[in-house]
Structure 1
Amino acid sequence: MKKLKITERLSESAYTVLKFMMMWTLVLLADFILEFRLEYLWPCWLFFGSVYTTFHCHGLVICVVFVCAAFTLDIFCLIFVPLHWLFFVASTYVLFNYIWHTEKGICISTVSLWILLVYTEASLRLKDLKTSHANLSHLFAAHCIGYPVVYLGFYATCYFTNILS
């Protein structure tokens, strides 16, 4: 295989950053127009994929335990985490995770996008503190926090169980 030149790698990284910035701008625009946080649907899609994989790899009982643990932690986050922090953490997690999977690990462009993301989320989202009743957006935000914690714990447990056995 022919090695990529440094200019080709930089242009590929710049293209990825530009593509992410355009996607993020469209999502923010849609969030404000629809008054629903569309980025919260992505962890739901990941959750369904994890449930499918867990069912096929570990069986029905472990799959039910995984789903129950995820929904229990979702409810816990919804009840005990203040709403403005719930939205901030959920949005930043979703976009951090997206950047992590589109870039090639930690690099200057990834770190700069994370800094820009946190600054923008803090300046836009933490100003808009509406104290309203729980709606569908709040439930999805809680799921954005609860599911990754359960997923990380579940697969860490599986990993260490396989190592020790």
Structure 2
Amino acid sequence: AYDNHDIDDGLRAGFLALDDLLTLDFLADQWRAVEKRFPHAPKDRLLREMIRDQIGLMVKDVIEHTRAQVHGIGSVAEVRNAGRQLAGFSPEMTSRERRLKTFMYDRLYFHPEQIAAAERARDVVARLFAAYSQDAKLMPSDWHERLPAHEPQRSRMIADFIAGMSDRFAMQACAAIYGAHPAGLINV
């Protein structure tokens, strides 16, 4: 279902176009149904409704398909011996989900700008880890005062500190340590 939420993010970032999304027949069908229900709504509202409907269809499908798969099964032993997956999407929804996932990987997740941003973010994290490992006093006092002296606990706590940062805070911390935003990190 996360793919459905990523559609909105991809459209807002300019990595996806609505016309491209609607080349997927099941999304085009959803879009037409939403347009019919809300004929005067702005596109952003229609998009939110389409995503909500798509998630609703997926939830309904997994419930109905699982219910059908477990019909007649009355014990744990019968579940173990069923010889098939009992919970999951119907074959039709599985196909839709695979098609959407393929589309999203091709157009969004492996988009060159996304990959470049991930590499820049990885660089920020690596720089922060190196700096904090070398000089723990660069961390806030409530963190560096509790920092274990020995590995691997020390590295784990530094990693936990970095993991708790927002993107913006990590960029600001990196800039504060290294004097300015390192080249190419402005858009992380």
Q: Where on the TM-score scale, by shorter chain, does this alignment land: which range?
A: under 0.3
Larger Rg computed on CA atoms: 2
Higher relative contact order (CA 8 A, sep 6+): 1
**Normalising by structure 1, what TM-score?**
0.28
**Normalising by structure 2, what TM-score?**
0.25
